[in-house]
Chain A
Amino acid sequence: MSASKGIPASAPMVRAPAQRSIAGWQRAAIVLLGAAAALAPIWVLDSFPLFQLTMAIIYAVAVLGLNIVTGYSGQISLGHGAFFAVGAYATAILMAHFDWSFWATLPVAALVCAAIGFCIGFPALRLHGLYLALTTFALAVAVPQLLKHRALEGWTGGVQGLFLLKPDPPSWLPLSPDRWMYVVVLVIAALMYLLAWNLIRSRIGRALMATRDHPTAAEAMGMDIASLKTRAFAVSATITGVAGSLSAVAVEYVAPDSFTFFVSITLFVGMVAGGIASILGSLFGGLFVVFVPNIAEAISRSAPGVIYGVILILFLFVMPDGFAGLLRRLWARAFGPRG
């Protein structure tokens, strides 16, 4: 990473995809088709692959959160695992100690993460590049220690962690808890993606990218960079925290060892593999971090970690700007340089 510069302005990471106008009925058809494709696994897949897919979507949401701050706002975070953990524990504590329903805990988890993200956003304003990477990484390293600490042990269950239960499917739906969990995750993920999509395409999103690529010019045009960036941090933390909350109920267990700094590294890998500053890429990133380790293991049982590393590097050779970059290039080739 380049130090005091963050992301070099000379290499804008995203080119806006060609805008094409699509008729309303086409758009509706696309949405319907997408929804059908997303729901199909409920009937098509066995419970285990469905569980994997559920986890992949959860990670995709977490990667999306990271992408907002690192991809769109240009602030490198190696510590989003911390927000993931906070979201998970907020839900777990409320469910385990206060018998709240999962649905009630979700907004609390989101709010707590938003508040923490907002607070982290302030020092992050003064730090750039590597310095911010260290700060956030330190956060990721500190979280398991804090979760284990005596003062919090009564709430967090200390090293033993907390057990919780998946939300029950409504009685009128003939779905098993696993299948219902998939639906829940899918719906919440869709909401998060919609939120991110709207944010990125709004004035705020354009302002964020402007401050990332040309901070001085953006400021000269009257943008309040400080407030933009802290808010971006808060939104990003919220989305990742919601993913953490979902993971707590999907796995039905939280423990400090589930949230070591490897989680942050995993999210980062997902973002890079999927494509920096890409919403669709985040989805691919979630699939990557869940399924590629399994592929690596199928190739070599004696050293799956080595194979995973090799796959990651080869992948970045072939697609330096991630899966989303590949899609963009294919799109450009198919539809020419118009627009």
Chain B
Amino acid sequence: MEALAHQIIAGIATGGIYASLALALVMIYQATHHVNFAQGEMATLSTFIALSFIQAGMPYWVAFFATIAVSFLIGVAVERLLMRPVQNAPVLTHVGVFIGLLLIIGNLTGWVFGYTTKMFPTPFESDQPLFGGLVSAHQLGSTAVTLAVLLLVYLFFRHTKLGLAMRAAAYNPRSARLVGIRVGWMLALGWGLAAAIGAVAGMMIAPVVFLDPTMMLGILLYAFAGALLGGIDNPMGAVLGGFAVGVLENLAGAYVVGTELKLTVALIIIIGVLVIRPSGLFGRVVLSRV
């Protein structure tokens, strides 16, 4: 029984990691109706930038916000320079560009910062192990940060004009343009915000899994699964989905099929859910008129 409780707690802690990146995926989806496969690599790059700031002597929180600002600019630049030229190309071409971006950023990060595993500091230090050593103060703190980001995202999209304009630009660019929204800049802004949220996710994840250029490779898949399980258009659903994936995966590994197949089984369960509810657990069903 105790082992079961431990598996669940450990699953929730890992799920927090997925949830934070899933939130970035949902964010960019809301703003652009794309899922960016390079999101994980962009977040890793941001985290390395944060590490450089900290090593240069900046206090943690200064580096934290400086990194968010830099990442925002990188996101905007990527949209302007790389996505703009192919905006009228078929959707699959966009996916091709994402893959190119993934290759460039992933390899560039390794080339510039090296491949050695590095420690990344946490602002939430505590000497006292919590929950039998399964959860660190950092994991509690980072979950709080994820929830805070979620709240901000919610308020931004629901209660600000800009948020509404961004949703409109993503949902129906043509009509949005007619009512005077600058659709191009809305997309760039969406990329910037997604990159900023990704940076937060990276800085929260790195102290747990340790920092190296391939840190996000596995996490992205889980985050993607979490986001889809919850519903790709629902930030709250994505966060819950992330936690669910973490717990599900641990239970499958410990009690169902053994660790060798735990990823496979977790994915099969998720796909099963999706077949029954094709828009995710909390997603809206989109009906379109013909």
Q: Which residues of A contact B (CB under 8 A)?
A: 1-5, 7-8, 11, 13, 70-71, 76, 123, 126-128, 130-131, 133-135, 137-138, 141-142, 145-146, 148-150, 216-217, 265, 268-269, 271-273, 276, 302-306, 308-310, 312-313, 316-317, 320-322
Contact = CB atoms under 8 A, between A and B. Distances in A.
A192 B82 CA distance: 36
Contact of B111 (A5, A133, A150, A306): A306
A1 B96 CA distance: 10
Contacts of B270: 134, 138
A306 B103 contact: yes
Contact of B93 (A3, A135, A320): A320
A322 B23 CA distance: 32
Given A131-B228, A313-B100, A150 B260 contact: yes
A304 B111 CA distance: 10
A148 B97 contact: no
Chain B residues touching A, range = 35 or more
12 contacts: A1-B94, A7-B91, A137-B221, A137-B224, A138-B268, A217-B290, A303-B107, A312-B97, A312-B100, A316-B100, A320-B93, A321-B89
Interface stretch (B1-9, B179-187, B273-281): B273-281
Contact of B275 (A71, A127, A320): A127
Nearest to B96: A272
Contacts of A8: 91
B267 A142 contact: yes
A130 B233 CA distance: 12
A304 B268 CA distance: 35
B29 A306 contact: no
Contacts, number: 149
Contact of A308 (B90, B103, B279): B103
Contact of A309 (B100, B221, B228): B100
Most buried by B among A127, A134, A135, A268: A134
Q: Is the interface of B mostly helix, strand, loop or mixed?
A: helix
A229 B228 CA distance: 23
A5 to B, nearest CB: 7
B179 to A, nearest CB: 20
A289 B290 CA distance: 39
B261 interface: yes
Given A305-B103, A310-B104, A130 B228 contact: yes
Contact of B103 (A131, A134, A309): A309
Given A131-B228, A302-B111, A271 B92 contact: yes
Given A127-B275, A313-B82, A316-B89, A138 B267 contact: yes
B287 to A, nearest CB: 10
Contact of B29 (A3, A128, A142, A302): A3
A71 B290 CA distance: 22
Contact of A276 (B92, B233, B268): B92
Contact of A1 (B35, B103, B107): B35
Contacts of B92: 1, 7, 13, 70-71, 76, 271-272, 276
A312 B34 CA distance: 19
Contacts of B263: 141-142, 145
